[in-house]
Amino acid sequence: MSGLREEFLRLLREDVEFRYAVVGLLGIEEVLKRIDKNTEAIKSLQEQVRDLQKQVRDLQKQVAKHSEVIRSLQEQVRNLQEQMKVLQEQVRSLQEQALKHSRVLEEHMRVLERLVASIQALGLKYGLSTEGAFRESIKYLVEDLLKVYRVERWVYYDSEGVVFGYPSWIEVDLLIRDGEHVLVEYKASVDRADVAELYRVGVLYERVTGVKPKMLIVSPGIRKRAKELADKLGIECRGEVLEV
């Protein structure tokens, strides 16, 4: 019996068919086959799970890429919004500059209208030769000064009577460029009283504004004594100097 048992055990260990035959005889052959099938099924499911896990990882990578694209687009939108704000500010600034230039142009036109009226009146009063001399002076004012200076009209109530010795309104054309201010008077003819008057206007202007102005007189006829006084007072004269 001992030898038979040893042989039986050996066959179970070494002979698969014998082992299945014994299992079948014991009624569990079908169970083992099902276990083998389940084992294969489990292996297949494990493969499917690995495939799904790989697909999930790929999807996660795609989601991450899309998230980065969305963040980039959001940043671009923010940049565009900032650029729009800058452009809107530039448009507002240009509109303000255009309005400012329009006002300057209107003032230039008013100055030119006054000059044209003066020229027409002077042409009748002094003749064409004097008018031509005055036009040369006006050319200097218009082509040289008005191109680079801003034109304004300074109006101030001289309550102390600095200019005329009694309270009065003072009006004078004013050219401004950076920190330079120029008071301009254009007259049919100029004598010392006109020079002295503009000088006192300059004194008043400096007292009121704190800016020492330059002064310019434009006229077709400047008396010699007026020109001499203007030179002493630092007032520029443009026009024909008359030997009277």
- Indicate the CATH number of 127-242 among 3.40.1350.10, 3.30.2130.10, 3.40.50.10190, 3.30.450.20: 3.40.1350.10
pLDDT tens-digit profile, the chain (244 residues): 667 777 666 766 777 776 666 666 666 656 666 767 777 878 888 888 888 888 888 888 888 888 888 888 888 888 888 888 888 888 888 888 878 777 766 776 666 666 555 555 555 455 444 545 555 555 555 555 566 677 788 999 999 999 999 999 999 888 888 888 989 888 878 899 999 999 999 999 999 999 999 999 988 788 899 999 999 999 999 888 887 6
- CA torsion sign for 41, 42, 46, 49 is positive
Phi, psi of 178 (to 5 degrees): 55, -120
Predicted structure pTM score: 0.47
Domain ranges of the chain: 1-89, 127-242
Contacts of residue 157, Cβ cutoff 8 Å, sequence gap at least 6: 167, 168, 169, 170
| Residues facing 157 on adjacent strands | 169
